[in-house]
Structure 1
């Protein structure tokens, strides 16, 4: 479990050649970079439209849970952030709606109070985000993609695309909390083709390059690249499945104080939690509610909608622990054959539907073993996509961290209050998921699409000891 951080002076792709693979985005012509950026922005907007057009105006303005904003707030907030950064800052254009800046400032208004604000209605919000997008595309066409840190390699545009996709995943979570008939539909994920996988893989001891200094659209908390030494450890080959988690539940795991931390036990007791969120026991069988569909819990899918506390308790029951963030990233990125850190578990190429379950294509986790082409160099499956994976690490800055482009993206959240999640979920878009991407949330959160896998220290007699 020991990790030692050491700065690597890696400011340019050339300087990081021994630890990281330079990103091909930096090699595109400005014309091709603009086309790529426009496509990424359009993909995000298509998803936003699908999520908001799926329901009527009454559902758009309704708060489906105090944990979430009304869908119409998310939509206008997406437009507001795009206006602030792309239209006003990068483009230097006059404000469209300065009167709504405060309404859509997430730091000024907690989610629980947002329905009481004088928000834009559905029609007005749609018109606003469309007008902002037209101006943002004009800015993209006219702005040199070099010079300023915000414009170099289209960073600000990539940041806004990621922001919109992150809210699209948040809106998807709101749909999961919504009551009523199903309105979202998607095909089933692919079946498992990699069978008889080992329970664990061993990640060898040694240093690796964690974080990035060359990924053009990486956010500030992913930077800079730095060397970390990680002791050898064992890691579950796949995320913990529903069937395995049900064993913990059926064994009385939720009622056994031995497996829970003090904070976890207090949380479990206060809220009377007895199973993953959306699970229900009927006639000796576990069922779940998924986007309005009531169905048996699939045994071979990764468990989802569990908090950090639940994941930690399961790991203790299983005689294991949760991996640290450094352990997770080493298992995902480190290639023993080259000593380099890959962009993704499978290599440096962007994700395809054969690599990982991303992009809200299936609206559920895929069975473990469904993506053999996504396996990491050390043999771990499905580290990207399906479910966010809780780690045991607090959300803290890397050595040499510099806030950019504003403190409120990462810096104000650093500390022991939040736990780090890695890897993305079926609700995440590829633009917002990479081997270095860091998510964080309160350890009590269950509405997010989070699961986990376990790790353990090696024992005498284990391979690699």
Structure 2
């Protein structure tokens, strides 16, 4: 990627994060509804902290941090960087103010743009090494991840408000995506064979011609797959309602034991945000409470629910390798799609020894892989090798179901 392109991408990414916050009231920036969801104010600050901590303090001589407290307040999970505030207490940070956080963003942006412009002014691209460019590119992709989290976290917070507030009347417009319906499904066959899995780049930067990838996508390797058939479309709300009405949530035989314990402990009886009102299903959306669209793809499903539904249909979820190989044959990108694969390192994967090494590798336990993207995923932040991952009980992401037989 040319330095001018990197500079433009940095600007667009930072501006888009703030644009997503335009519909918010000042009171919306602060609450934290659960320990897995962070307030918008924290997302704004944390993505800024990444550029300050990982770039400016290390590569700009005599750089002065905006506020010495912010490193502690807005570090997320980087143990090698220093102490951090408790994750579950991000919502009690009434100070610094939202205004100060925006001042922080603009301060860091000014210094980042000055840092990048040192080369663009002269047309000589020797100020920034490939490693520094790769780190800036990682920071941009990190912010794009948080753009989606900002929306999913905000939706969770709004869903607990008794007046069921509206973030935006047309969420698809905000997400810069057209309104789409689930397509008619057919079965697509994939033959037995040995397939290449993973990104072809040997590094996390954008210098090989193959584009950016995270380190957990690298180490391309070969996998033997048996013949399988995969659905061309995701499961719809109508199909999922059939599962509910057939006592799917009350029938133990469909569920993994761990999933059954989660279901019974938390009294789960439907996807997250669904409500039964006067005999009709509704769901809470970023556009407020809406009647369920039967033909839309089901969303906000945990891995446990996805696996139980597949069992009810006498089918299964695809492995992440099957999904990647077959992904050229179907449209994807409306829902993150649960796979049957545990989140584990690819052969040859090694965690780097610096702070960036904490980005993915240390989470490779007790998590399941999701593939694809969702309606909340930022533009140009998806690829067929992307490995998203969450613990199997989480529902608050825009996650759905694709079946294999």
Q: In the alignment, does 2:198 pair up with 1:211?
A: yes
Measure, in 2, the Cα distance between the counterparts of 1:47 and 1:181: 22
1:78 equivalent in alignment to 2:47: yes
Match of 1:182 among 158, 166, 171: 166
Q: Please give the residue correspondences for 1:103-182 in structure 2 after superposition, counting only pairs within 5 Å.
A: 103-107=73-77, 108-117=84-93, 119-142=95-118, 144=125, 148-151=129-132, 154-177=133-156, 178=158, 179=161, 180-182=164-166
TM-score (norm 2): 0.86
Corresponding position of 1:338: none
- Larger RCO, structure (CA 8 Å, separation 6 or more): 1
User: What secondary structure is seen at the aligned counterpart in 2 of 1:268?
Assistant: helix
Give the length in aligned residue pairs.
373
Q: Is the 8 A contact 2:39 2:154 kept in 1?
A: no
Alpha-carbon displacement from aligned partner over 1:275-328 (angstroms, at most 9, x marks no partner): 001111223321111015111111111111010000000000011111111111
| Structure 1 equivalent of residue 400 of structure 2 | 451
| Deviation for aligned residue 1:45 | 1.9
Question: 2:59 & 2:225 partners in 1: Cα distance?
Answer: 41
1:419 maps to what in 2?
368
Superposed CA deviations along residues 103-135 of structure 1, whole A, max 9, x for unmatched, are 111124443222334742100000101110111
Secondary structure of the corresponding residue to residue 183 of structure 1: coil
CA distance in 1, matches of 2:75, 2:169: 32
1:38 aligns with 2:7: yes
User: Structure 1 stretches of 5 or more lacking a match?
Assistant: 1-24, 26-32, 333-375, 457-465
Cα separation, partners in 2 of 1:299 and 1:70, compared to 1, 3 Å: same
Match of 2:273 in 1: 278
Q: CA deviation at 1:422?
A: 0.9
User: Does the residue aligned with 1:102 lie in a helix, a strand or coil?
Assistant: helix
Pick which of 57-66 and 421-430 moved more.
57-66
Please list, as runs of the form range in 1=range in 2, the aligned pairs for 1:46-445 lying within 5 A after superposition.
Answer: 46-92=15-61, 94-96=63-65, 97-107=67-77, 108-117=84-93, 119-142=95-118, 144=125, 148-151=129-132, 154-177=133-156, 178=158, 179=161, 180-186=164-170, 187=173, 189-191=178-180, 196-198=184-186, 200-214=187-201, 215-332=210-327, 376=328, 379-382=329-332, 385-404=333-352, 406-415=356-365, 417-445=366-394
What value does the CA root-mean-square deviation take over the aligned residues?
Answer: 2.1
Distance 1:95 1:233 in 2: 57
- For 2:304 and 2:272, locate their aligned partners in 1 and report how far apart those are by CA, in whole Å: 13
Deviation sequence 1:31-61 (CA, Å, 0-9, x none) = xx22322332233223211233322222212
The TM-score with structure 1 as length reference comes to 0.75
CA distance in 2, matches of 1:431, 1:196: 26
Checking the alignment, whether the CA contact within 8 Å between 1:302 and 1:451 is kept in structure 2 is: yes
Report if the CA contact (8 A) 2:335-2:400 is conserved: yes
List structure 1 segments (4+ residues) > 6 angstroms apart after TM superposition: none
CA displacement, residues 125-173 of structure 1 (integer Å, 9 cap, x when unaligned): 001011101111222223547984523xx32222111111111111101
Q: Tell me if structure 2 keeps the 8 A contact 1:90–1:150.
A: no
Of residues 40-49 and 288-297 in structure 1, the stretch that sits farther from structure 2 once superposed is 40-49
> Quick check: 1:321–1:455 contact (8 Å CA) kept in 2?
yes
Give the Cα–Cα distance (whole angstroms) in 2 for the partners of residues 243 and 146 of structure 1: 56
Secondary structure of the residue aligned to 1:253 is coil
Partner deviation per Cα, 1:396-447 (whole Å, 9 max, x = no partner): 11111133462210111012x1111111111112343111111111111011
- How far the C-alpha of 1:92 sits from its partner, in A, is 4.7
* Residues 248-298 of structure 1 deviation map (CA, whole Å, 9 limit, x = unaligned): 011110000010000000000000000001111223321111015111111
User: Quick one: distance in 2 between partners of 1:410 and 1:146?
Assistant: 29
- Whole-angstrom CA distance in 2 between matches of 1:206 and 1:150: 37
